[in-house]
Structure 1
Amino acid sequence: MGLQADIFWSFRSPYSYLATRRYSALAQEYDLNINLRPVYPLAIREPDFFERSHPNWLRYTFTDMFRVAQFHGIPFGPPRPDPIVQDVRTRKIAEEQPYIFRLTRLGQAAARRGKSLAFCDEVSRLIWGGAENWHEGDHLTSAATRAGLDLVELDAEALRDAEALDAEIAENQTALEAAGHWGVPTLVFDGEPFFGQDRIDMALWRMKQKGLVAR
């Protein structure tokens, strides 16, 4: 049995998307089991976060996420629609959120089946990779199929078991904070957190120190 790592991840985080295919590549190349644990984004956990942030925060983030995508050759959106409904001008988060609860519960349902990394990779490629109206038609159905899952089955579970799934998602957030961080994406290996898409190489370095080998 190979080494184990957890990744704490959000569907609304562009950096989670920008890191995911590299996480997937690690799991394919090395004897490493990666357990992706979805959490609700800050927009849900702290709705006033964006209103409180520095005026330059959003502008810099937009500049940087496109730059990171270009640097790594990763297709990049922006998402259409955004997984979070938000007034871009005021930064206020809408009370009605038709996408993020479904998505995150689907991700946790996939985690129950040990396929959250594959599922979130495929779905985030739609959301952040430029697919227009990713929530309509057969986009999500096809993404689930590529991850070896059945969207109808996942959706039924997300509706039927919403309360339990939300409790598991809250446990993911608690585990992230217990590991020493609060943001996503964060890879936790052997109790050590590596926050951000720019810490993947450092996490790999640490895992190799602990005996990580190629498959």
Structure 2
Amino acid sequence: MSLAFDLFWSFRSPYSYLVTPRIAALVEAHDVQCNVRIVYPIAVRQADFFANADPLWVHYLLKDCYRTADYLGLPFRWPNPDPVYRDPNTGQYPREQPHIHRLSHLGVAAAERGHGLAFIREVSSLIWNGQTDNWHEGDHLAKAAARAGLDLADLDAAVAANEAHYIASVETNQSDQRKGGHYGVPLMVHDGEPFFGQDRFDQLVWRLQQKGLRPR
């Protein structure tokens, strides 16, 4: 029987983007299943989270993201536009968001079709690799979906036909995320054991190897 782990993941998380190529390579090369579980970003779930954070936290986050991307050999730039809109006048994250709900629900739809990992890899690269401004316009998302083996129009139509289902799916993922042992992303959970953060990927692989991880 194949090994498996849950991946709780957000489109607004730079660390989710940074770990995804390694997870995709792991799954491609080994007999292990990654169950993609999309969640809303913390700025959507808890709008005052960043307002209450020490300024050094944000400063270090940005420095560490660029350093980690450089270390991994991945292109990186903060997205334009940000997947989560922040009002520049108030500094607040309004309830009505132009991008993140669509992205999250598309991710759920992709996972339901068995292409979740491919979809989040392609779309997160589009958003975070710094090579595409206005990633939400034109055919950028459609091409990313096609590279993942999916049709964007089909995904959008499925979400529009039953949006409540996709909202409920994300909320279930968020509940299961906390049951898994953490509230942040990326969070990988195998056999009840949580591995939080892209810097715990190697420990996840180590644990899977202890459980009998085999090459495909």
Deviation, 1:92, is 1.7
> Whole-Å Cα distance in 1 between the matches of residues 134 and 5 of structure 2?
33
Q: Does residue 13 in structure 1 map to residue 13 in structure 2?
A: yes
Q: Which residue of 1 aligns with 2:78?
A: 78
Aligned partner of residue 51 in structure 2, secondary structure:
helix
Asked if the contact 2:37–2:108 (Cα under 8 Å) also holds between the matched residues in 1, the reply is: yes
> Whole-Å Cα distance in 2 between the matches of residues 20 and 58 of structure 1?
22
Q: Which residue of 2 aligns with 1:51?
A: 51
Aligned partner of residue 49 in structure 1, secondary structure:
coil
Moved over 2 A (4+): 87-91
Q: Which residue of 2 aligns with 1:133?
A: 134
Q: Which residue of 1 aligns with 2:194?
A: 193
Amino acid corresponding to residue 154 of structure 1 in structure 2:
L
1:29-51 per-residue CA deviation (whole Å, 9 max, x = no partner) reads 11111111100011110001111
1:52-76 per-residue CA deviation (whole Å, 9 max, x = no partner) reads 1112111111111001000100010
Deviation, 1:161, is 1.4
Q: Which residue of 2 aligns with 1:102?
A: 102
Deviation, 1:104, is 0.1
Deviation, 1:126, is 0.6
- Structure 1 alignment gaps of length 5 or more: none
- Structure 2 alignment gaps of length 5 or more: none
Written as runs of structure 1 = structure 2, the 5 A alignment for 1:1-215 is 1-87=1-87, 91-130=91-130, 131-215=132-216
> Whole-Å Cα distance in 1 between the matches of residues 72 and 31 of structure 2?
24
CA RMSD of aligned residues (A): 1.2
Deviation, 1:89, is 7.6
Aligned partner of residue 77 in structure 1, secondary structure:
coil
Amino acid corresponding to residue 151 of structure 1 in structure 2:
L
Amino acid corresponding to residue 67 of structure 1 in structure 2:
R
The 1:89/1:13 distance shift into structure 2, 3 A limit, reads farther
Asked if the contact 1:35–1:114 (Cα under 8 Å) also holds between the matched residues in 2, the reply is: no
Asked if the contact 2:9–2:39 (Cα under 8 Å) also holds between the matched residues in 1, the reply is: yes
> Whole-Å Cα distance in 1 between the matches of residues 73 and 94 of structure 2?
33
Amino acid corresponding to residue 103 of structure 1 in structure 2:
L
Aligned partner of residue 11 in structure 1, secondary structure:
coil
Asked if the contact 2:44–2:95 (Cα under 8 Å) also holds between the matched residues in 1, the reply is: no
> Whole-Å Cα distance in 2 between the matches of residues 164 and 87 of structure 1?
29
Aligned partner of residue 137 in structure 1, secondary structure:
coil
Aligned partner of residue 50 in structure 2, secondary structure:
helix
Task: Give the TM-score of the pair, scaled to structure 2.
Answer: 0.96
Q: Percent identity?
A: 53
Asked if the contact 1:50–1:92 (Cα under 8 Å) also holds between the matched residues in 2, the reply is: no
Aligned partner of residue 114 in structure 1, secondary structure:
coil
> Whole-Å Cα distance in 2 between the matches of residues 108 and 46 of structure 1?
21
> Whole-Å Cα distance in 2 between the matches of residues 89 and 205 of structure 1?
46
The 1:62/1:38 distance shift into structure 2, 3 A limit, reads same
